[in-house]
Structure 1
């Protein structure tokens, strides 16, 4: 039984008001346990696929009993929602780090995003997105989180790339182009539809196209 379809009896929820003095040792321990469970969920999805991932398997992967897991997440749907939120947060953090670490040199940005797509988090999200096509329970969880992520990503992108403010339409096209091509390449590499030897020339082609679209580079050779 897949996580988003799991049903459990209502149990005590973890969320509690924090004392004014800051987090307690118990709340920190609880947060660490939740993080272990979320990471274990992502690992199971990568190793087993979404359809074959169950709450007992996640608990075992995290080194916890199923009862201990249900103390923090009342059912599989709550757990998968937390995993999707974490996958989105990872992507936002990586995007911010890449944008803040350089002067937005196109090659650096393209290669930074490509490296991010080689990590298990991308495999896990791709698995979830594909499963949601035919799993209505999962789709109901994923779609609003996708909409929320898109809003956050776009707002962060506008903030991090002021050089594109004069051309918001071009910026939207450049971001969509780079994401679509690079993520498509990553999927094709995973499935064997693209040979490894094509990665470098394709990355250079993406860089070339993005450079021609930049407001400060239009009409210039670089």
Structure 2
């Protein structure tokens, strides 16, 4: 069959109007969908645990088709990695909100972090951390993100608490003590190993320990 030489009429593409925000709107919509999927992943981790969190369940939780989900995350590994990164970012943002004040009150800091640990984000992260102990693939994803979070957290802490610069060893001890005690309390409360009535006395005791490590007011 001979090729036709009849000219092909094509529709004339109209120039995009100046100031058209089409690409920006598409990018914003894509970002919203990604956030929706990450939130759905966190909810699935809380509801079902890591072992039972699957891409079909996440898609259903998000109210999307699995195909639509795969358009934004090529596989479950990419989704879990994005979820971990978001959980770390939430912790950093919460820490900054609590500490980014002219005057640092130990009570405010302890209470703020404790409230953060009651949210689903911490439950989801703890679920991932425990699962990574026996899941080599998950551990491979989690470890570098944990290292990155630790570096960012330490850098942010040094920036937000300049008054502790004269006693860096005490500062490191205070941060480690508060994180270990509070997260341990949150896990014990979730599993029923700790009586809720003991929370307030423990928080007050922790505040006293951190206060004892703090530098003198005129340092």
- TM interval, shorter chain, is 0.7 to 0.9
After TM superposition, what 4+ stretches of structure 1 lie above 3 angstroms from structure 2? none
| Higher relative contact order, chain-length normalized (CA < 8 Å, sep 6+) | 1
The answer for the alignment partner of 1:104 in structure 2 is 104
The structure that has the greater radius of gyration is: 2
The answer for the alignment partner of 1:122 in structure 2 is 122
Q: Gaps spanning 5+ residues in structure 2: where?
A: 1-20
Q: CA deviation at 1:175?
A: 0.1
The answer for the alignment partner of 2:201 in structure 1 is 201
The answer for the alignment partner of 1:3 in structure 2 is none
**What TM-score comes out, normalization by structure 1 length?**
0.87
Q: Secondary structure at the match of 2:113?
A: helix
The answer for the alignment partner of 2:88 in structure 1 is 88
**What TM-score comes out, normalization by structure 2 length?**
0.88
- 8 A contact 1:211–1:217 mirrored in 2: no
User: What do you get for the CA RMSD once the two structures are aligned?
Assistant: 1.5
Q: Which moved more, 1:93-102 or 1:60-69?
A: 93-102
The within-5 A match list for 1:150-169 is 150-169=150-169
Q: CA deviation at 1:217?
A: 5.6
Cα deviation per residue 1:96-134 (whole Å; 9 max; x = unaligned)?
Answer: 001124611011110011000000000000000000000
Q: How many residues align?
A: 198
Q: CA deviation at 1:169?
A: 1.1
Cα deviation per residue 1:49-73 (whole Å; 9 max; x = unaligned)?
Answer: 0000000000000000000000000
Q: Gaps spanning 5+ residues in structure 1: where?
A: 1-20
Cα deviation per residue 1:26-45 (whole Å; 9 max; x = unaligned)?
Answer: 11111110000000000000
The answer for the alignment partner of 2:52 in structure 1 is 52
The answer for the alignment partner of 1:39 in structure 2 is 39
Q: CA deviation at 1:216?
A: 1.9
- 8 A contact 1:50–1:128 mirrored in 2: yes
The within-5 A match list for 1:55-66 is 55-66=55-66
